[in-house]
Amino acid sequence: MAEENLEFLKAYEMASSTDQQFPPDVLLHFYALYKRATEKNGFYIPPTNQGDLRSAFKINALIQVKDLSKKEAEKQYIELVEHHIGEIPK
C-alpha cells in the first residue's frame, strides 16, 4: 500500500473517531473530499429526494471538488484533518 494512501486511511480514522464538533461547511468539505478520493466509478452523486436541502448541500460540495484528482482529494483531506483535528501519526 502506498505511503500516501496509508496516511489518508489514518486521516479518515481520525476524522471518523473524533468527538470534536465542526460547523456544517467543514463537515461538507470532509464529506466531499472523502467521496472524491474514494469514488471508483467517476463522479459520485448522492441519491436525492425532491426538495431535500441536505442533499442539495452535499451535491454542491461535491461539485466544488469534482475537478480534483483522487490523489489531490486525498492530499487535501489529509490537510483538512491536520488543520482541524491534529497531526496524523506516522
pLDDT of residue 47: 66
Q: Which of 33, 35, 30 is nearest to 46 (CA)?
A: 35
Set of cell numbers at residue 28: 461538507
pLDDT in tens, 31-86: 999 999 998 766 666 666 666 787 888 889 999 999 999 999 999 999 999 999 99
CA dist 16 to 34, 76, 85, 89, Å?
11, 16, 11, 15
Residue 50 pLDDT: 60
